[in-house]
Chains A and B, each alone.
Chain A
Amino acid sequence: DGGITQSPKYLFRKEGQNVTLSCEQNLNHDAMYWYRQDPGQGLRLIYYSQIVNDFQKGDIAEGYSVSREKKESFPLTVTSAQKNPTAFYLCASTLDGDRIYGYTFGSGTRLTVV
């Protein structure tokens, strides 16, 4: 079955460390997104990519970086510049940039700073 795979499910980061969250999809979707969710809050857009080798900043891009070298993959790096990274991170994809179709989400990565 097609879907989005995020790994790891849980991740612990020490102060000053960079960590990378993986997101892979086999849906043949062009557009991919990274969202951050804090407890009791909605989803906030970090970065998105509508085509390979191109991506744009979302509303809260500071302290994060991404790459899109392959259509299937959109990894997110949380850098040491992100001062409050503890959150639930969700990756999503869509066929047409959400103009007609909805998003398919991965199961998420819960990141905790220790």
Chain B
Amino acid sequence: QQPVQSPQAVILREGEDAVINCSSSKALYSVHWYRQKHGEAPVFLMILLKGGEQKGHEKISASFNEKKQQSSLYLTASQLSYSGTYFCGTRTLARQLTFGSGTQLTVLP
């Protein structure tokens, strides 16, 4: 079953923060986050494993709430280069990675 992402779209000004959420009805083993620019391949950002860890680098980080089967991606002090569509992918022990429908992020100058 496909994870649910929210919001579907968000528009920011440079320097503003954003949060993208991903939730599943299944018990998750891991959560992936990817960013895709228009017409290009998705690029891997990070993976969060069962255990509720928070990961990140620079101004993009993520958390995984194992009890709620939810993950959130945090983008702080957004830059123009952050624009794109963000996908979460969720994996259970029984199923391969399943992607959400994406969140379109637009950062304006």
Q: Using CB atoms and an 8 Å cutoff, list the residues of chain B in contact with chain A.
A: 2, 29-30, 32, 34, 40-47, 49, 87, 89, 91, 96-102
Contact = CB atoms under 8 A, between A and B. Distances in A.
B99 A105 contact: no
A30 B78 CA distance: 36
B40 A103 contact: no
Interface residues of A, dominant DSSP: loop
Interface of A: 33, 35, 40-45, 48, 58-59, 90, 98-108
Interface residues of B, dominant DSSP: strand
A98 B34 CA distance: 13
B30 A42 contact: no
B44 A104 contact: yes
A83 B49 CA distance: 38
Given A99-B30, A105-B42, A41 B47 contact: no
B41 A107 contact: yes
Contacts of A41: 101-102
